[in-house]
Amino acid sequence: MALNQTTAETTNGSEHRRRLLQGMASMAATKGLAAVTIADVVREAGVSKRTFYEHFESKDACFLELYRAVSMNALKTLRDSVSVERPWQQQLEQALQAYLTHMAANPELLRTLFIEIHHLGVAGERA
Protein backbone atom coordinates (compact mmCIF):
# COMPACT_ATOMS: atom_id res chain seq x y z
CA MET A 1 0.00 0.00 0.00
CA ALA A 2 1.94 3.00 -1.24
CA LEU A 3 1.86 6.42 0.32
CA ASN A 4 2.03 9.07 -2.34
CA GLN A 5 4.81 11.63 -2.64
CA THR A 6 2.85 14.43 -0.96
CA THR A 7 2.19 12.23 2.07
CA ALA A 8 5.87 11.38 2.21
CA GLU A 9 6.76 15.08 2.09
CA THR A 10 4.31 15.76 4.91
CA THR A 11 6.31 13.42 7.13
CA ASN A 12 9.29 15.80 7.34
CA GLY A 13 11.23 14.22 4.49
CA SER A 14 12.75 11.38 6.55
CA GLU A 15 13.14 8.21 4.51
CA HIS A 16 12.97 6.02 7.63
CA ARG A 17 9.91 7.83 8.87
CA ARG A 18 8.22 7.44 5.48
CA ARG A 19 9.06 3.73 5.42
CA LEU A 20 7.71 3.28 8.94
CA LEU A 21 4.46 4.97 7.99
CA GLN A 22 4.30 2.79 4.88
CA GLY A 23 4.89 -0.27 7.04
CA MET A 24 2.16 0.80 9.43
CA ALA A 25 -0.26 1.37 6.55
CA SER A 26 0.44 -2.06 5.13
CA MET A 27 0.32 -3.94 8.43
CA ALA A 28 -2.82 -2.18 9.70
CA ALA A 29 -4.60 -3.03 6.44
CA THR A 30 -3.44 -6.64 6.62
CA LYS A 31 -3.88 -7.44 10.32
CA GLY A 32 -5.95 -4.64 11.82
CA LEU A 33 -4.35 -2.13 14.15
CA ALA A 34 -5.00 -4.11 17.35
CA ALA A 35 -3.04 -7.10 16.03
CA VAL A 36 -0.15 -5.08 14.60
CA THR A 37 3.09 -5.13 16.58
CA ILE A 38 6.03 -2.80 16.32
CA ALA A 39 8.01 -5.84 15.15
CA ASP A 40 5.56 -6.16 12.23
CA VAL A 41 5.99 -2.50 11.29
CA VAL A 42 9.80 -2.49 11.45
CA ARG A 43 10.02 -5.75 9.51
CA GLU A 44 7.79 -4.30 6.80
CA ALA A 45 9.75 -1.02 6.81
CA GLY A 46 13.14 -2.73 6.82
CA VAL A 47 14.40 -0.78 9.84
CA SER A 48 15.25 -1.57 13.44
CA LYS A 49 13.09 -1.16 16.52
CA ARG A 50 15.56 1.46 17.66
CA THR A 51 14.85 3.44 14.48
CA PHE A 52 11.12 3.10 15.15
CA TYR A 53 11.52 4.57 18.64
CA GLU A 54 13.68 7.39 17.29
CA HIS A 55 10.64 8.49 15.29
CA PHE A 56 7.61 7.38 17.33
CA GLU A 57 6.90 6.78 20.99
CA SER A 58 4.39 4.00 20.29
CA LYS A 59 2.47 2.05 17.70
CA ASP A 60 -0.52 4.32 18.25
CA ALA A 61 1.62 7.45 17.74
CA CYS A 62 2.81 6.04 14.41
CA PHE A 63 -0.74 5.26 13.30
CA LEU A 64 -1.95 8.72 14.36
CA GLU A 65 0.79 10.36 12.32
CA LEU A 66 -0.14 8.23 9.32
CA TYR A 67 -3.78 9.30 9.74
CA ARG A 68 -2.84 12.97 10.00
CA ALA A 69 -0.48 12.85 7.01
CA VAL A 70 -3.08 11.21 4.78
CA SER A 71 -5.75 13.66 5.99
CA MET A 72 -3.50 16.66 5.32
CA ASN A 73 -2.80 15.31 1.85
CA ALA A 74 -6.54 15.03 1.13
CA LEU A 75 -7.06 18.62 2.27
CA LYS A 76 -4.18 19.76 0.06
CA THR A 77 -5.87 18.06 -2.88
CA LEU A 78 -9.03 20.02 -2.13
CA ARG A 79 -7.19 23.34 -1.79
CA ASP A 80 -5.24 22.79 -4.98
CA SER A 81 -8.37 21.95 -6.96
CA VAL A 82 -10.22 25.22 -6.35
CA SER A 83 -9.90 28.07 -8.83
CA VAL A 84 -11.34 31.23 -7.28
CA GLU A 85 -11.80 32.80 -10.72
CA ARG A 86 -14.61 30.34 -11.48
CA PRO A 87 -18.20 30.44 -10.23
CA TRP A 88 -18.76 28.74 -6.89
CA GLN A 89 -20.71 25.89 -8.53
CA GLN A 90 -17.72 25.01 -10.72
CA GLN A 91 -15.38 25.32 -7.74
CA LEU A 92 -17.55 22.89 -5.81
CA GLU A 93 -17.66 20.43 -8.72
CA GLN A 94 -13.88 20.66 -9.17
CA ALA A 95 -13.27 20.13 -5.47
CA LEU A 96 -15.60 17.15 -5.23
CA GLN A 97 -14.15 15.52 -8.34
CA ALA A 98 -10.58 16.04 -7.12
CA TYR A 99 -11.40 14.75 -3.62
CA LEU A 100 -13.25 11.66 -4.83
CA THR A 101 -10.52 10.88 -7.35
CA HIS A 102 -7.97 11.26 -4.57
CA MET A 103 -9.93 8.92 -2.29
CA ALA A 104 -10.39 6.33 -5.05
CA ALA A 105 -6.64 6.19 -5.68
CA ASN A 106 -6.00 4.17 -2.51
CA PRO A 107 -9.28 2.77 -1.14
CA GLU A 108 -7.60 0.11 1.00
CA LEU A 109 -5.57 2.68 2.92
CA LEU A 110 -8.57 4.95 3.43
CA ARG A 111 -10.80 2.09 4.59
CA THR A 112 -8.14 1.06 7.07
CA LEU A 113 -7.71 4.59 8.40
CA PHE A 114 -11.44 5.29 8.73
CA ILE A 115 -12.08 2.04 10.59
CA GLU A 116 -8.95 1.72 12.71
CA ILE A 117 -8.82 5.34 13.97
CA HIS A 118 -11.83 4.55 16.17
CA HIS A 119 -9.82 1.92 18.05
CA LEU A 120 -7.62 4.66 19.51
CA GLY A 121 -10.39 6.12 21.63
CA VAL A 122 -10.03 9.77 22.58
CA ALA A 123 -6.74 10.22 20.71
CA GLY A 124 -8.35 8.89 17.53
CA GLU A 125 -11.39 11.07 18.08
CA ARG A 126 -9.19 14.16 18.37
CA ALA A 127 -7.31 13.30 15.18
Report the pLDDT averaged over residues 17-29: 94
Q: In terms of Cα–Cα distance, which of 59, 57, 1 is closest to 30?
A: 1
What SS3 state is found at 58?
A: coil
**Is 102 inside any structural domain?**
yes
Query: pLDDT class for 118, splitting at 50, 70, 90?
Result: confident
Mean pLDDT value across the chain: 86
pTM of this prediction?
0.78
CATH number where 95 lies: 1.10.357.10
Q: What is the pLDDT of residue 102?
A: 86
89: left (phi over 0), alpha (psi -120 to 50) or beta: alpha
The residue segments making up the domain with residue 57 are 5-122
Percentage of residues of the chain with pLDDT beyond 70: 90
Instruction: Please tell me the total count of domains within the chain.
Output: 1
